[in-house]
Amino acid sequence: MQIYLAGPLGFSEAGRDFHYRKLIPELERSGHAVLDPWTLTDPGKIAAVLSLPFGADRREAWRALNPQIGRNNHAALDACEAVVAVLDGVDVDSGTAAEIGYAFARGKPIVGYRGDLRLSTDNEALTVNLQVEYFIRASGGDIVSTLAQLPGALAALKLTP
């Protein structure tokens, strides 16, 4: 299955380490192809923007690159068969929440992964934000709390052609 891997892990050194050393290999060991939004845009272009000093030139460079990043992720979401969304943090990352909503609207099943032990919910019957959890479960997916549970949750998805 071709999986879009939504989540904020690429923003931090520790997150990238987990993303590339643990999460992606677990999905690939289970036989899935991973569409990684952190690699869909030329890293040289991103590095060029990051190398600019803070200020007007850097803002303009981001304004020019942001639509390309968005289009690349949009195309990958359209191409995938399912989404795995990392739900860690005190609140689900806003970009990840947007990708979950878009995937649901496109009829893609979604599995959430929350390995974070902190509470992040609207009430005690939920794992995360009510709407985020609703879209994941209404898509036919589930929320798991360990990497070991991901393969089973993905195998349980009912894919529609």
pTM of the predicted model as reported, rounded to 2 decimal places? 0.94
DSSP string, 91-114: S--HHHHHHHHHHHHTT--EEEE-
Location of structure tokens 């040289």? 44
Structure confidence by residue, pLDDT tens digits, 4-63: 999 999 999 999 999 999 999 999 999 999 999 999 999 999 999 999 999 999 999 999
Beta strands at 82-86 and 143-144: parallel, antiparallel or unpaired = unpaired
Domains of the chain, first to last:
2-38+82-155 (3.40.50.450)
pLDDT digits (tens, 9 = 90+) for 50-61: 999 999 999 999
Q: Give the Å distances, CA to CA, from 97 to 29, 52, 91, 111, 140.
A: 26, 29, 10, 13, 17
